[in-house]
Amino acid sequence: MPHDFMPGLAGVPAATSSISDVDGQRGVLEYRGIRVEELCAKSSYLETAYLLLFGHLPTPSELQRWTNDVTHHRRIKFRIIDLMKCLPEQGHPMDALQAAVAALGMFYPGRNVKDIENNYWSAVRLVAKLPTIVAAWARLRHGDAPISPRDDLGFSENFFYMLTESVAHPLWSEIFDDCLILHAEHTMNASTFTGLVTASTLADPYTVVASSIGALKGPLHGGANEEVVVMLKDIGTAGKARSYVEGSLSNKKKLMGFGHRVYKVKDPRATVLQGLCQSLFKECGSSPLYEVALEVERAAGELLKGKGIYPNVDFYSGIIYDKMGIEIDLFTPLFAMSRVSGWLAHWLEQLRENKLFRPDQIYSGEHNRPYVPIDRR
């Protein structure tokens, strides 16, 4: 029985899942039933990744093992570095990340996705190695040698170290870790759905994650965080925000960082990110981009009133990364190195009761057309 066609599968359930839930009317996001605000306040990215992947908060010994395993798998094969050295320096970091992750699968067993122990180690490697790949590319493209991970540093501390060869201020690592928690999972978003379709073919997890990275790159999805900061820098001052918003909307140009398929109120992650901005600014001074962003939000609130279009997760995140001196085109890779735990959680959940994704279509073409020889066309 054909179902009604829904553009973009809007509102169409593609799976049953217990990993996360979004209440778009009330602005609530829960990971395994725990509010994301509480995880930001009390958990860490690695502990949250464990919760997403395995369904419960780890016991002390489980967390110790998980942390040790991830910490000791941060290094990447020299051939992955050599592969990145062959890529064009001006290439986008998301393309470098996708290429490196797809290649990762060539070094590790992953084909037999029914092997639970193997799947654990694949999850460990992907959570552990994406930050190393992102940091390595960020340096290689400028002609600098990658910096090896340090096992004595925490997950976020180590990322900054691999990027800058210095240990970041503890507050920066804490704020960055909270950003990773906020980006880790979000029900059936486009990149998760992409990964699920790949997972349903029983492809290996490296290929699953590489396919999700491709979907995340788009400016309607994870790529928006980069576009927002470009927009804010383009606007320049808070005084020009309203005219920019008026111009965009009158030209039917979407405001980057606004709107959401599910949230019809302000994305709760945007509110937490604003709090993180304030904490960061207290330590190292404000960002002019933040004042511009506030004015954009104010103007959009008036001009889009009643349309259910509010800031989403991408609107304030880049202001934090920019203040920390991270290059703008690295923002979406930061999203990817967090969301990899959500993608893998859905991968594991899909495997438990797999069914190949193969939807239908409504055919709008012709039938029984004759072949016309080229000399009669």
Binding footprint of ligand SDX on the chain (CB under 6 A) = 8, 186, 189, 220-222, 224, 254-261, 307, 309, 312-314
The smaller minimum CB distance to ligand SDX, of residues 240 and 254, is found at 254
Contact 130, 337 (CB under 8 A): yes
CA distance 67 to 63: 6
User: CB of 77 within 8 A of CB of 107?
Assistant: yes
Q: Cα 125 vs. chain centroid, distance in angstroms?
A: 17
C-alpha distance from residue 14 to each of 190, 219, 220, 367 (Å)? 11, 23, 20, 31
Contact between residue 252 and residue 312 where contact means Cβ atoms under 8 Å apart: no
Structure tokens at 223: 């790529």
At closest approach, how far in Å is the CB of 234 from ligand SDX?
Answer: 15
> Given the complex with ligand SDX, which of 151 and 246 has the nearer CB atom?
246
Residue 55 or 219: the one with the smaller Cβ distance to ligand SDX is 219
Q: How many CA atoms lie within 13 A of 32 on its CB side?
A: 18
Tell which residue, 8, 32, 5, 36, has the closest CA to residue 20: 32
Max CA separation in the chain (angstroms): 76
Q: Please state, in angstroms and rounded to a whole number, the distance separating the CA atoms of residues 265 and 275.
A: 18
- The one catalytic residue among 177, 178, 267, 314: 314
Q: How far is the CB of 45 from ligand SDX (least distance, A)?
A: 15
Q: What residue is closest to ligand SDX based on CB? A: 259
What is the C-alpha to C-alpha distance for residues 148 and 128, in angstroms, rounded to an integer?
13
CB of 181 to ligand SDX, least distance (A): 12
For ligand SDX, which is the closer residue by CB, 309 or 326? 309
Least separation in angstroms between residue 184's CB and ligand SDX is: 9
- From the number of C-beta atoms within 10 Å of its C-beta (0-12, 13-18, 19+), residue 227 rates as buried
Residue 92 is classified by DSSP as: -
Q: Least distance (Å) from ligand SDX to the CB of residue 183?
A: 7
Q: Which is nearer to ligand SDX, 161 or 343 (CB)?
A: 343
Which one, 136 or 228, has the nearer CB to ligand SDX? 228
Annotated active-site residue 314? The verdict is yes
Could you tell me the CA-to-CA distances from 129 to 13, 69, 76 in Å, in that order?
32, 12, 7
List the one residue out of 350, 333, 28, 23 whose CA is nearest residue 183: 333
The one catalytic residue in 73, 92, 260, 346 is 260
Q: How far is the CB of 254 from ligand SDX (least distance, A)?
A: 4
The residues annotated as belonging to the active site are 260, 314
